[in-house]
Amino acid sequence: MLIEIIETSFDRHFAELKLVRQEVFVFEQSVPESLEADDRDSLCQHLLALSEGEPVGTARVDWEKQGKVGRVAVRKPWRGLGLGKRLMQRLESLARDRDVEFLWLHAQRDVIPFYESLGYVNEGSEFMEAGIPHQKMRKQIGDY
């Protein structure tokens, strides 16, 4: 199964990005739709994973917030194929191209081991976001 990851903007692929994020965050995790979408979407760089033209995964990075990663999501039928790892590796490559020192994110408690496997480390205490326990994590990208 060929999965293509493209770099895009929220405006250009709004429907496809929204489909993945609503399915994962709103329907599966019961995140209120008003919290899933935010005013940063139009300012972020987005990745969209497509399988035969069908949207299957997303991620975004907010360069204005010093490389904050967010909205990493893979639809259920495509999980376990390494797509989340590929999305994160692509974001890290983009960060290196921009000479960004760190990427950071708010990881849901259940996926902390995934991010740890990619070299992200915990920072600070656990906190609640959208009714879900989260942990701030970051990874050094550049050789500083």
User: What's the pLDDT tens digit per position in 11-58?
Assistant: 999 999 999 999 999 999 999 888 898 999 999 999 999 999 999 999
What contacts 80, CB < 8 A, 6 or more positions away?
none
Say how far apart CA 101 and CA 7 lie, in whole Å. Answer: 21
Answer whether 0.75 is exceeded by the pTM: yes
pLDDT tens digits along 74-95 = 999 999 999 999 999 999 999 9
Percent of the chain with pLDDT over 90: 92
Cβ neighbours around 74 below 10 Å, total: 24
Please give the order of strands across the beta sheet that includes 132-140.
Answer: 3-8, 45-51, 54-62, 68-74, 102-108, 132-140, 121-129
Which own/partner pairs from 82-88 qualify as long-range (CB within 8 Å, at least 24 positions apart)? 83/3, 83/49, 83/56, 83/57, 84/57, 84/114, 85/118, 86/3, 86/5, 86/49, 87/5, 87/47, 87/49, 87/57, 87/58, 87/59, 88/59, 88/115, 88/118
Fold annotation for 3-140: Aminopeptidase (3.40.630)
Residue type for position 75: R
pLDDT over 70 (residue 144): no
Which pLDDT value is given to residue 67?
Answer: 97
Q: What pLDDT is attached to residue 82? A: 96
Which candidate, 17, 129, 20, places its Cα nearest to that of 74?
Answer: 20
* Average pLDDT rounded to a whole number, residues 65-75: 97
